[in-house]
Amino acid sequence: MDRYKAILDNLYDGIYFVDAQRQITYWNKAAEQITGYRAEEVIGHSCFDNLLKHINDAGDELCLTGCPLVASIADGQNREAEVYLHHKAGHRVPVRIRVSPIRDETGRVVGAAELFSDNNIASRMANRMAELEQLALLDPLTRLANRRFMGDTLENCVRELKRYGWSTGIIFLDLDNFKQFNDRHGHDVGDEVLRRVAKTLAINSRGSDLFGRWGGEEFVGVVRNVDTAQLACVAEKIRMLVSHVTLPVDPDGASIAVTVSCGAILLRQDDTAESAVRRADRLMYQSKKAGKNRVTTEAQAGC
C-alpha cells in the first residue's frame, strides 16, 4: 500500500477515497494543493459534511443533493462532471471530477474514488499574472489587472469592433453592501472580501476574457466574441459564483456572504471606452435599485 500511496501522492490530479458511508479514507497531496485542505483536516470526515460544497453551473449544492459519489456507490457506474469546489481560502475553483466505485474481492461496492483536476486554469492565470506584473499593470490588492490596463484593453476592443466587427461584452460589477463590511468588521475584512471576489473572477473566466479592478469595490470584465444572450449567461454565472463566496468573521464559525450587482452591455460602433463603461455602470445601478445581487442587460432595461 505504501508503494501505491507514493504513486497517488505524486499525481498532478487530486484524488480521494470514501467508504460506503462516504467517510473520507484517503486524500492525496494534489488534493491538498487544489483545495487548501490538509489530509489530516478531512480524513475521517464524511463528504456529506459538505466540506468542499460542490456546486454546478446552476448553483445547486451537489454535496447535499445530486452527489455523483452517492450515485456511483448506489449503481456501481463511473461518472464525470464539471463542478466548482469551495477552496479553504473561500473562493470557488472550477474542477472536472471523475468518480469510480471501489469493489471488494466479491465485486460488492464498498466505496468510491473521486479524481479531480483544475484543467490547467491555475497555470493560465499564473502566466497572465506574470505578463501583467512585467508591465506593472496589476492592482496590488487583488492581483487583477488595474484600471489603466483595463482602459487600454477597452480602447483596443473599440478599435477591433470598428475595424473587424468583433463583438465584445462589458460587465460592470459592484459589491453589494461593501461599506457595511468595512464599518462592521474593519478594513482588513473588506480587503479580504475584495481578494476573494477577485480570485473567483480570475479563475472562472475564459482565457480570452479579462477581469480587472476598476476602483474601490468595482470590477470590470471584458468578454470577447459573445452575443447578447451569451453575455447575459456569462454575467449571471459570475454573479452566481460570487454569491457562494464566504468569509469567516469570528471563532464560532459565523461568516459573511458576498454578492454583486452587475450591468452588462455589448460594445456599439459609436462607443468609446468611456461611454461603454458609463452605460454598463448605469445598468449596474439599475440592478442595485431592483434589489441587488442581480444582472441587468440592455435588453432587460429596454435600451
Q: Which residues are catalytic?
A: 217
Say if residues 115 and 83 touch (Cβ distance below 8 Å): no
Residue from 16, 28, 25, 108 nearest 68 by CA: 16
CA dihedral 94, 294, 175, 239 (to 10 degrees): 10
Phi, psi of 302 (to 5 degrees): 75, 25
Tell me, what amino acid is at 117?
A: S
Residues 140, 17: Cα–Cα separation, whole Å: 39
Please name the helix (run of DSSP H) or strand (run of DSSP E) that holds residue 220, with its range, or none: strand 218-224
Angle, vertex CA 99, rays to CA 95 and CA 104, nearest 5: 150
| CB of 109 closer than 8 Å to CB of 76 | yes
Distance of alpha carbon 154 from alpha carbon 274, whole angstroms? 9
